[in-house]
Chain A
């Protein structure tokens, strides 16, 4: 049972480049979310989804897009990377909005 799988684990981008962080879960979880972790600030919610075809913004959505075409996948897109988006990104999933979330191992993203 793989749980929540994030790819890649590490990535370096140049300012202005685009990329997609992948997140997949094999637990048939309806709820999925993306967080970013910055030093001294804990984790902050970027976007979340309560089911396929439904997404909503979290606390820090600017500069990021998401889509949820299947229950399993919840990719996070950076359309034009900025140095302020240098962070560690975590994807999480759960069976519902009132259940504990299972986290992936994170993606460390550096933008030069």
Chain B
């Protein structure tokens, strides 16, 4: 069974600085997707970024980028130029291509951006 682990329950960063959120996962599969979702206080689940395991290039979306290390089963999220609106809970998630689209979530990291 796949598992996803986020070892940082809480983090804080000063506005305009850079922060990295960690995520590790365990799987025996070679083809899968990884995601980072953001959940602000409004409770919405918002897709931040997606990485296909077969792609060596790290995904980037504006100020958000990932460091995908397939051999190490690590998938960290870097947020550059942090903004107050980045304050949220961040979830790492794993999706197998062979299990009907099921998402396996980590426990979440609560990020606070301070002015």
Taking the nearest CB of chain B, how far is it from the CB of A31, in angstroms?
5
Asked if A100 and B91 sit within 8 Å, CB to CB, the answer is no
Taking the nearest CB of chain A, how far is it from the CB of B88, in angstroms?
14
Binary interface profile of B, 10-49, with partner A (CB < 8 Å = 1, else 0)? Answer: 0000000000000000000000010101000011111100
Number of A-B contacts (CB under 8 A): 64
- Bin the interface of chain A by size: 20 to 34
Contacts of A101 in B (CB 8 A): 47, 101, 103
**What is B's interface to A at a CB cutoff of 8 Å?**
4, 9, 33, 35, 37, 42-47, 50, 91, 93, 95, 97, 100-108
Could you jot down 13 A-B contacts, CB within 8 Å?
A: A33-B102, A35-B105, A42-B106, A44-B105, A45-B104, A48-B100, A50-B101, A59-B102, A90-B45, A98-B95, A100-B47, A102-B47, A103-B44
